[in-house]
Structure 1
């Protein structure tokens, strides 16, 4: 391993202490209006995805296995379910539900899904603590900004080696966010991060299996637990992130601590956040978008060949030419390309056993080839469609460009439509509308329990 900077920079605090002090310094008043709007969009988007994900077998089996019910108003809400569970168990179950559909937001600087490990930890603890909407938003921002800075220290080798950043580095995001929610000072927050370092893990080899979402739920739970223990004077390893045998040294080929040690707001990484409008691995979105643009100009029956110019990052992540399940298909450039051309959509409704088994879809997926461009990026794909008469159609789309400040409202409106489509089948259209309204005014909500109560399964089902 090579080390560009480990521990203190210029004789200052070590990496963990510096990040702990930074995380403890976030306040609601320091969050710019545009970053606040993005944070609210993160909450709305994740709630919709998690509510829909609560119906997935992975979430159901996990809840039945680990979430022992608690009486009365104790514990925290299990999204989409009637019962409640102890705080850490709720964070685990909800964290899994929020990632199981692979429909949650992404951040390139984080190399993963930033809200997925952080928000379920924050909501579970906030509900139990009677925290406000402002508290939740501040904690969420602190968690996402902190985990992204940590990833900057270990990128790009951490992800390239095979670690699933959302689950591994996300554990620190959940710990930092929960510590901020609990009002822990820098020293206790450093211990929370140190404890998180002992359980921060996750493997890309889990992609396409239950393990991918389960390890994100674990990250939320372990991060929350680390902060809750630190509040009660638990200690973690000194500089668990930057010490000689700490997380960075053992989980990356090179460490650049200076890249992580940037002041609050320099930059605001949330401004780079991207939302998903297709229910598949983000690496498939640029090709989906490009093919959707081409679709009105060709007939599926005339397609002879489809070539996707992909990046090295795509390889092993979403290059699954042979799929047997809808979950496999979400990580298949071939199948998502075929869905875009054949059905004109790649939302959750088309990732079913019936659709994936269609002969016409499988035949079209078989015409898709990938070509690796060594200089390519994960967010941009060049698409070439050759027709049987020799006609060549080309398109390229980069989905890695975040919404400009003047388009954040339009983005929120699109996310609201996505949210209703995901949440209404679980909690009903009326409750979904109430949730969306509360999230839009989250900074004025006195107790987050008013929001989480709406995410529980209605008594008697949707008809009750």
Structure 2
């Protein structure tokens, strides 16, 4: 049995009724978080440009943040780009990227056009999440280190699997859809810090949906698109650098959305900077630190994370999201890191630039002793000669074992959604999403979102 066939059978057989309570809870949280960051990202330049290129497109799928509808694949492109525009969407240790943003824009577009229920949307979402996680077990972290962006290269399979499940494709059609998606996988880390990174997500969401639609109509694809000598595994990772058996060992035992679970971001920047931000904020709180007291800051993170976050001189707001020096400087200077820190030319603020010059980033010498690669240590040398430090094994909210309180999840949603919706509309949307499985028709929810948009 090929990888595509193995996945196809499990995706097609996936049922809402089989979801454990914890999986449903985490699905609600993933959907809440993704809808919120999509509404916040809808007005970002990358989302506006993607919309301009895709438009006009007549259809029934809502463009989040606009009173406009497009055909599902185009809505998936625009909303997927918006979902990742702020780099504030959820993360996954297994994926080494962002699991929900490639999946949910395609699903919402498809669900509202087919008048699917919330239960159907949830089941498809969890099935897509699990499918991309299984493939991640086969290829990471060599895949990530080589330079692929797993959010896109694996996310396209998540979007495809979810769309196939929502359209009720059978096992054979689903396998074909995944094989088609193997030729759509793309996204290189060289484009981190630019508009192309969120475009990766929109592209993956759209292409996963299209792959499923093509398979439904009888399109054909190779049976061994994953394991063929010129298939996904060998081309993207190379012989000896993947383990296909690892993908097939434990489907849904437990579901990846439950363990290790979704990482909900507290800060609107690259997740690789978050442990250092946490450490710096702890030091600020414990020692009442101010920039004036500080002579030097040393931020130590895993070398894998430092490769794309060692940016002492960010050149744009997007670039600043990947600068651990900038993020740590913000944490020291103001005791928080928020959306406005990455808007316009906030990164160029002279006072922050002055603090940044005190921050040095280097590899963590104890990286190999970490239980995973999401830890950090921050050392602060003070002008009075004291030296204080804090080590964080992983950022708060990074796994289901260390979740954020519901109140913080809700506060993040309301803050993000308020960029597009009025206050009452934000609260109504949040209440509806906490009960997403009770929606009789997802289209009614997107209509509610559209009606709640702020007036221009």
Question: TM-score by structure 2 length?
Answer: 0.94
Provide the secondary structure at the position in 2 that maps to 1:150.
helix
- Structure 2 vs 1, CA of residues 399 and 79 (structure 1 numbering), >3 Å: closer, same or farther? same
Q: Which residue of 1 aligns with 2:305?
A: 314
Q: How does 1:48-127 map to 2 (within 5 A)?
A: 48-70=36-58, 74-127=59-112
Cα 1:400/1:261, change in 2 over 3 Å: farther
CA distance in 1 between counterparts of 2:407 and 2:55 reads 34
**440, 449, 453: which one aligns with 1:446:** 440
The 3-state SS of whatever aligns with 2:251 is coil
* Equivalent-residue separation in structure 2 for 1:404 and 1:280 (angstroms): 18
Shift of 1:456: 2.6
Describe the superposition over 1:3-62 as per-residue Cα deviations: whole angstroms up to 9, x where unpaired.
xxxxxxxxxx11111111111121101111111111110101001100010010110111
The residue that corresponds to 2:248 in the other structure is: 261
Provide the secondary structure at the position in 1 that maps to 2:419.
helix
CA–CA separation in structure 2 for the residues paired with 1:25 and 1:341: 50
- Corresponding residue to 1:141 among 122, 126, 148: 126
Q: Is the deviation greater in 297-306 or in 219-228?
A: 297-306
The DSSP-based 3-state class of the residue aligned with 2:165 is: helix
2:454 is equivalent to residue 462 of structure 1:
yes
The answer to whether the 8 A contact 2:264-2:398 is kept is no
Q: Which moved further from structure 2: 416-425 or 280-289?
A: 416-425
Between 165-174 and 367-376, report the one with greater CA deviation: 367-376
Unaligned stretches of 5+ residues in structure 2: none
CA contact (8 A) 1:16 1:242 kept: no
- Ranges of 4+ aligned residues in structure 1 off by more than 3 Å: 400-408
Question: Among residues 422, 432, 435, which one is paired with 1:428 in the alignment?
Answer: 422
CA distance in 2, matches of 1:233, 1:19: 19
Unmatched runs of 5 consecutive residues or more in structure 1: 1-12
Aligned residues: 446
Whole-angstrom distance in 2 between the partners of 1:344 and 1:394: 16
Cα separation, 1, equivalents of 2:10 and 2:207:
21
Note if 1:293 corresponds to 2:282. Answer: yes
C-alpha contact (below 8 Å) 1:170/1:220 kept by paired residues: yes
Q: Which residue of 1 aligns with 2:198?
A: 213
State how far apart, in whole Å, the 2-side matches of 1:158 and 1:40 are: 29
Deviation of the 1:68 alpha carbon: 1.6
CA–CA distance in structure 1, aligned partners of residues 97 and 217 of structure 2: 31
Q: Distance in 1 between matches of 2:325 and 2:449?
A: 35
**Correspondences of 1:227-238 after superposition (within 5 Å):** 227-238=212-223
Q: Distance in 1 between matches of 2:444 and 2:269?
A: 31
Contact 1:307 1:385 in 2 (8 A): yes
Give the drift of 1:205.
Answer: 0.5
Shift of 1:403: 7.5
CA 1:381–1:457: 2 relative to 1, 3 Å: farther
1:169 aligns with: 154
Q: Could you tell me whether the CA contact under 8 Å between 2:102 and 2:202 is conserved in 1?
A: yes
Q: Which residue of structure 2 lines up, in the alignment, with residue 8 of structure 1? A: none
In the aligned structure 2, how far is the partner of 1:407 from the partner of 1:210?
31
Q: Which residue of 1 aligns with 2:3?
A: 15
User: Structure 1 residues 395 and 405 mapped into 2: Cα distance closer, same or farther (>3 Å)?
Assistant: closer
- Shift in CA distance, 388/401, structure 1 to aligned 2, threshold 3 Å: closer
Shift of 1:264: 3.2
Cα-to-partner distance string for 1:237-260 (whole Å, 9 max, x where unaligned): 212122221111100131211110
